[in-house]
Chain A
Amino acid sequence: MRIRDSVAVVTGASSGIGRATALRLASSGAALVLVARREDALRDLAREIEQAGGRALVAPADVADFDAVERIVRRAVDELGRLDVWVNDAALTAFAPFQEIPLEDFRRILDVNVMGYVHGARAALPYMRDQGGGVLVNVSSIVSEVPQPYTHAYCMSKAAIRMLSASLRQELRLDGARGVKVCTVMPATIDTPLFEQAANYTGRKAKAMPPVYSAERVARAIANVIRFPRREVVVGPMGRNLMIQRKLAPGITERLVASQVDRSHLSRTEPAPATNGNLFEPAYLPASVAGGWHGKRRTAFRRAAAAGLVGAGVATAVRQRR
């Protein structure tokens, strides 16, 4: 579907992937409806979009509240005329040993990450079906396939989202709504403020587990599935590798990822106080796309290293030939 002149709703637009996606779609000519809890962060973003010549509506809401989500759809249609794209992106997470995470935190994560997406789909799809077209993008994660310890609620929710998308695709097909597409985007580790805003009961600081990719990269993948809808898209080559590994050798992959999380996802030196993060109250951190994990710089470094390795390999091969 063409992005120019379309109307797109992005949830979780205040920071991270949602913010990068909103900026990307706006620069491609879509009118945006920005959804998140933090109104001031959305206002800043809307100003940024409008200064670049775009159009954006600020719609502060908690996606766990279905009535609020329905109101957003009505507002989008009233003020912008239609609804072409819905990006479900708002998500929370917690790092905690299973017995120690408060059950209400666990419930809240499932409520936002799963029911929030259900609410978005439920409110948006009727309009898209009436129009005869539209794209629903559900941002899941590679942890929907590759499990991680200490983030049970998050992993569960991401797997649930993936299945929600698949099930909706089937249903839309049976109903003959051929023009309405549902796509799942599964990013690997992304440089966003998620890690710092998350709830944490491990006593250890949560870090972005390498390799880290930039949120702009996910935004690009989302724009691409809107243009050319695909069922599932993984962002980040290492993520794709891990997904294949998990299918080929599930047991080994589980054990490897578990120890990698223990080594590099949770710090062994930096402590962290117990917090419920941004679960119940929005974060106080500045709303930005990146989370200070240098996703872009790291990607550039990896590329340079890979190019160097290939170059060295070629040089060695050429020398041995002689």
Chain B
Amino acid sequence: MNGFTGGEHTAAAGTRVYAGVAGPRGAAPVVCVHGLGCSHRYFAPLADALADVARVAAPDLPGFGRTRGPHRTLDVRGLSFALADWLEATDRRECVLVGNSNGCQIIVDLALHSPELLGPVVLQGPTCDRRARSARQQGARLFADQPWERPSLGPVVLRDWAACGPRRYAETFAYMLGDPIERKLRYVHTPAVVVRGERDPVVPRAWAEEVAAGLPHGRLEEVPRRAHTLNWSAPRQLASIVRPLLA
């Protein structure tokens, strides 16, 4: 299944950025930011669910999916600069930003250096829990998440992991672990929703509450009986949270 009806290439961030796009041209833009080692592909069900009301675009950040990256792995700031450059190059200022997992960290980092680009924000499964900031703990939690995900996610994510490669994956993972997201939350000046799957072992309820409380205009929503990757496992529920944010 591919919810994206097309793709676009943009010269931005020192490379040729690919983005999957869906929905009618001219509709309210929504931008999806992928998590660690992933790409636009796992946003397909969400894009499908939003395509009637929004122009959904999911860029592959440099080094991931179909966008070639620089030889050196980009850190959180590097990725958020790349996102900022792409948002500007494609004229998508102040649109709704939906992040999954580590994508949330990139969106929050964007608020620090490019607040003017920021629109309403949906942080779905924001990482990394302040109380479990080691590779072993996060690895164990990601592993524990697997049984709760739909099996069809496996091939999609494995393909993307192969595209980014083990070195970039590991280095990005290290950058993500070292990112103090809780200290940046107060710069997110736009309406923000933290979305958590009820059974998500990666983002415990306490951490999700802490993130929501740290955001100036934040609130928490929980999707019952789902886990970490709601854009794949619960696209309709996630879409119904995004819809009211479309101006």
Contacts and interface: CB of A to CB of B under 8 A. Distances in A.
A132 interface: yes
A82 B71 contact: no
Residue among A5, A6, A7, A179 with the highest chain B CB neighbour number at 10 A: A5
B66 interface: yes
B11 interface: yes
Given A5-B9, A5-B66, A78-B11, A31 B16 contact: yes
Interface string B9-33: 1111011111000000000000000
A78 B67 CA distance: 16
Given A81-B9, A81-B10, A7 B71 contact: no
B71 A131 contact: yes
A31 B16 CA distance: 10
24 contacts: A5-B9, A5-B18, A5-B66, A5-B67, A5-B68, A7-B16, A31-B9, A31-B16, A77-B11, A78-B11, A80-B11, A80-B16, A81-B9, A81-B14, A81-B17, A82-B14, A82-B15, A84-B68, A131-B68, A131-B70, A131-B71, A132-B70, A132-B71, A133-B68
Interface residues of B, number: 15
Nearest to B89: A81
Nearest to B13: A81
Nearest to B7: A5
B16 A82 contact: yes
A268 B70 CA distance: 57
B68 A55 contact: no
B136 interface: no
Interface residues of A, number: 17
Interface of B: 9-12, 14-18, 66-68, 70-72
Contacts of B18: 5
Contacts of A82: 11, 14-16, 68
Contacts of B15: 81-82
B12 A4 contact: no
Interface string A284-307: 000000000000000000000000
Contacts of B16: 5, 7, 31, 80-82
A179 B71 contact: yes
A82 B70 CA distance: 10
B72 A132 contact: yes
Given A132-B71, A133-B71, 12 more contacts: A5-B9, A5-B16, A5-B68, A6-B68, A78-B11, A80-B9, A81-B9, A81-B10, A82-B11, A82-B16, A84-B68, A131-B68
A100 interface: no
Nearest to A7: B16
A79 interface: yes
A248 to B, nearest CB: 43
